[in-house]
Structure 1
Amino acid sequence: MKRIIITLLAFVSCKGFAQAAAINDTIVLSRTQAEALFLEKNIAIISEKLNIEIADAQVIQAKLWPNPTLTIGELNLWHNATAQEVPPLWGNFGKTSQVTAELEQLVQTAGKRKKMIAMEKVGVDIAKEYFKTFLRNLKIEFRGNLTDLQYTQAQEAVYKKQLSSMQTMLKGYGNQVTQGNIGRGEYIRLQASELQFLKEIADLRKENNSLQKELKVLMNLPPTSFVKLTDEGFVPENKNIENINLGNLMASAIENRPDMRVIKLGNDYNDHKYKYEKAMRTPDVTLGISYDRGASTMNDFVGLGFALDLPFFSRNQGNIKAAKLAIEQGKLLTQEKTISVQSEVLQAYQDLIVTKKLYDSVEANYESDLDKLLESYRKNFLQRNTSMLEYLDFVDAYLDNKSIVLNSKKDLNKNLEELRYISGQQIN
């Protein structure tokens, strides 16, 4: 029975390892490679691009002339004995047939067609800017996820290193406890620290799993893949931050941000719309040519004609007024958006400067000195020159400081990316 249980456990373990191997199809990427994959394969980006083609199709439609209208009427398909005969249409057919035919063509006046084309062309430009806005929003989300993943990977590596060191000490302490050289209280205290490290690692892995899900969707990767990022780009190039000209950033944001350009293009659209509505005051003309057989003083009558609305009651006053008010509304929205954008740039710039000062306050050799000092504490503890309380207190301080350093790098990356996003300008 015992042998059967061991065999089953071995089978389950092998199956579990096989499933883990299938799930963890690891893909190692740099930030640059990940973004290239994102831009190439993201389904939402591909879908959003189609809106530009849809807007282009509306321009094509606006350029087309209205179709002519052909009307056939008063056609009798039976013979009336009292009908007066007329010359046949062909052969012997049509001697007693009556028929009317009319061909009409709508002719738009006052340049309506040209004005409609101009409106639709602005619509194409707006669609392009909407796509840029969509891509801009998706990019900052994607880059933020990359930064978070690099951060969790680095944090997990720190805790794993401490866990490995703690487990090595626990193994040695376990032997000493068995031999009665060390009290069990110290051993339990080390086990408590080990458990804390395991919990921190578990929490980081859960966060990693959440980021994995988001990134795999954004890069259109198989669900079974596992993304591992290199350290490249976690600390961004930031040498020129002190040289940033705030005035230029604000001007760049107002000029280049897609959402700001959408507002401006909306104003252009309103201008064209106003011109179009004014043109609608002028009635369109419908030209026609008609043919009447057997119903007038002529056997075959051909006549010309035209039709147009008489603008006695409606001269499109309501739509013209609405279009004019839309222009005024657009100006107010532009003013509000301008103030909002400038305020956003200022806040993002100030946040970046604060983060940069914190990052710069960490000396270049601080992390390596911290690692060396931790190793020194560990050796002194093993040699009984340092108490367990002192050693564990330093480990806590070490982990806190490591977390502060990593957070300063992450925040610098995110704040710089935020300023790029807000200003619409690439800042190195």
Structure 2
Amino acid sequence: MKRIPLLSTAFIFLWFSTTAQDTLTLSRGQCEAIFLRENLSLIAGQLNIPMAEAEVKQASLWPNPQFTLDEINLWATRHQTGGKEVSPPIIGNWGRNQQYAVSLEQLIYTAGKRKKLMALQGVGVEKAQQYFNDLLRNLKLELRRQITELQYLQLSEQTFQTQLQSVNDLLSAYERQLEKGNIAAMQVTRLQSKQFELQKELHELKQQNNETQKELKQLLHLPPQTFLKLSSEQFERALTDETIPTYQALVSKASTNRPDYQLALLEKSYFEKSYFYERALRTPDITVNGRYDRNGSTMLNFVGFGASIDLPLFNKNQGNIRKAELGIQQAKMLSQQVLHNVETEVAASYKSLLNAHAFQKGIDPKYLQRLDHSLDAHTRNFLSKNINMLEYLDFLESYQQNKLSILDAARDLNNAVEEVNYASGTELIP
């Protein structure tokens, strides 16, 4: 596939239109598009396919003929010729009494070795494709996990920022009341303690954000100084019972699409073709030759033809044939093991998906909105002294835990969907 130029015009426009600073705002879809275009591991891995195709091309070539020029005497002495003209000149006066021989040899493969070797190398092309598919599958899973994690961290930061803003506003009001002597210093200290707690949580989230940013920028091959900001779209999957495929459908797809299982089957095919190729090597190849010899025999100009062949008395390639036979048996057993692993992984990921979906399905979609309204209401009631400090701080703690639990549920469902797609080797669930 032809390499798409790095950072296309549309992407460059997107880059500079987002912000004057090094902040780049992307959606999940845009991240994947950049990943497929810019990830150097993918680009390098894809080159293995034409490399394998080149090996097939090489296997299709016949061996070169061999040209030999020998038995040349550069001059002939009087002692050698007895002063006579033993042989006439070749051109003009050149070549009198000189000898040389010319031969041409060509190796001819027998027993269809060339076609069998091409078939063997052809399996290498299929394996290279499946290795690339497996690399893409693993990198995609890692990319989507990191995207989900960054979305989760950014939404968590917003939750803590909302609480911190509320506490900051209250703290400013209470500090003014403290200056007037209307409240005790302990109440301000309690709010300052909560403020510090929220600031610490935000600091830890920013540290995690930085680490996730690093992983994503490596996958997307973005400049190190870029700050990624992801939109929250598709963080919460609109998953229904009808969109979840059955376990049997997943297993069927996995047995057809999982690169690791396909590689196990190709390994068996490789040894089968290797077996036929090694058996063909038992048949000796033939070398045919033609030879011209001037002044080297009873004839002045001798032209002769010949052929040579190995005699398979001792080496009949027994060891390599036996190795190929054992390779077939080994590949059969390993493919059965890989298939069992595939089915086990599909079953585990499917169970996790059902659990994650059931948990999120039980969350009222309007609950988040009511939580935010409750925060505003509790803040007003606290300022109006309808509730005390302890009640307000308890609500803040509950608010924080509930908001994070809802975000956790969305993250878990997102990751569960990707695990099912990964285990089945295909994107059955969009």
Distance 2:39 2:156 in 1: 28
Q: Is the 8 A contact 1:23 1:224 kept in 2?
A: no
> 2: CA distance between counterparts of 1:329 and 1:88?
69
Q: Where in structure 2 are the equivalents of 1:150-189 lying within 5 Å?
A: 150-189=151-190
- After superposition, the C-alpha distances for 1:123-144 in whole angstroms (9 at most, x for unaligned) are 1111011111100101000011
User: What is the deviation of 1:91?
Assistant: 2.1
Equivalent position of 1:285 in the other structure: 286
Which consecutive residues of structure 1, in runs of 5 or more, have no partner in the other structure? 1-20
Match of 1:387 in 2: 388
Q: Residue 70 of structure 1 contacts residue 103 of structure 1 at CA under 8 Å; is this kept in 2?
A: yes
Q: Which residue of 1 aligns with 2:362?
A: 361
Offset, 1:83: 3.3
225-234 or 141-150: bigger deviation: 225-234
Give unpaired runs (5+ residues) of structure 2: 1-17
The answer to whether residue 71 in structure 2 is matched with residue 70 in structure 1 is no
**What amino acid is aligned across from residue 209 of structure 1 in structure 2?**
N
Deviation at 1:175, TM superposition (A): 0.8
* Residue 48 (structure 1) aligns with: 45
Instruction: Give the match for residue 299 of structure 2.
Output: 298
Change (3 A) 1:22 1:371: closer
The alpha-carbon deviation at position 101 of structure 1 amounts to 1.8
Query: Which structure 2 residues correspond to residues 198-217 of structure 1 after superposition, within 5 A?
Result: 198-217=199-218
* Stretch moving more, 277-286 or 207-216: 207-216
Match status 1:320 vs 2:321:
yes
Residues in 2 aligned to 1:39 and 1:151: alpha-carbon distance in whole angstroms: 23
What RMSD, in angstroms, separates the aligned Cα atoms of the two structures? 1.5
Deviation string, structure 1 residues 236-258 (Cα, Å, up to 9, x no partner): 23124675211111111011111
| More moved, 308-317 vs 367-376 | 367-376
CA positional deviation for 1:98: 1.6
Residue aligning to 2:377: 376
Query: Could you tell me which amino acid in structure 1 is paired with residue 55 of structure 2?
Result: Q
Query: In 2, distance between residues paired with 1:311 and 1:75?
Result: 35
Segment of structure 1 superposing worse, 104-113 or 262-271: 262-271
**Is the CA contact (8 Å cut-off) linking 2:106 and 2:289 kept in structure 1?**
yes
Q: Deviations over 1:367-423 (max 9, x none)?
A: 111122222221111111211111111101110111110000000000001100101
> What do residues 268-327 of structure 1 show as CA deviations (whole Å, max 9, x unaligned)?
111110000000110011111112221210111111111111000111111000000000
Alignment correspondent of 1:195: 196
Matched, 1:141 2:138: no
Question: 1:83-111, CA deviations, whole angstroms, 9 ceiling, x for partnerless residues?
Answer: 34312222222112221222111100000
Q: Select the residue among 50, 58, 83 that pairs with 2:55.
A: 58
Question: Matches of residues 237-256 of structure 1 in structure 2 within 5 Å?
Answer: 237-240=238-241, 243-256=244-257
Does the CA-based 8 Å contact 2:349-2:416 persist in structure 1?
A: yes
Aligned partners of 1:207 and 1:241: how far apart in 2? 36
Partner of 2:114: 113
| SS in structure 2 of the partner of residue 307 of structure 1 | strand
> Once the two structures are aligned, what percentage of the paired residues are identical?
42
User: In 2, Cα distance between the equivalents of 1:241 and 1:101?
Assistant: 80
| Partners of 2:25 and 2:228 within 8 A in 1 | yes
User: Counterpart of 1:155 in structure 2: which amino acid?
Assistant: S
Q: 1:94 aligns to what?
A: 95
* Distance of 2:31 and 2:63 partners within structure 1: 50
Report the residue type matching 2:185 in the other structure.
R
1:214 Cα deviation after fit: 1.5
1:8-54 CA-to-partner distances (Å, cap 9, x unmatched) read xxxxxxxxxxxxx9995111111011111111111111111110010
CA separation of 1:207 and 1:23: change in aligned 2, threshold 3 A: farther
Q: Which residue of 1 aligns with 2:12?
A: none
Farther-moved stretch of structure 1 (213-222 vs 196-205): 213-222
Out of 19, 23, 27, the position equivalent to 1:30 is 27
| More displaced 10-residue stretch of structure 1: 273-282 or 417-426 | 417-426
Decide whether aligned partners of structure 1 residues 99 and 300 sit closer, same or farther in structure 2, where only a CA change above 3 A counts. same
Q: 1:77 to 1:293 in 2, by over 3 A?
A: same
Shift of 1:79: 3.2
Question: What SS is found at the alignment partner of 1:237?
Answer: coil
**Aligned in 2, Cα 1:241/1:141: closer, same or farther, shift over 3 Å?**
farther
Task: Specify the alignment match of 1:125 in structure 2.
Answer: 126
The separation in 2 between residues aligned to 1:63 and 1:317, in whole angstroms, is 25
Deviates more, 1:67-76 or 1:408-417: 67-76
Q: SS of the residue aligned with 1:422?
A: helix
- Alpha-carbon distance between aligned partners in 2 of 1:415 and 1:46, rounded to the nearest angstrom: 28
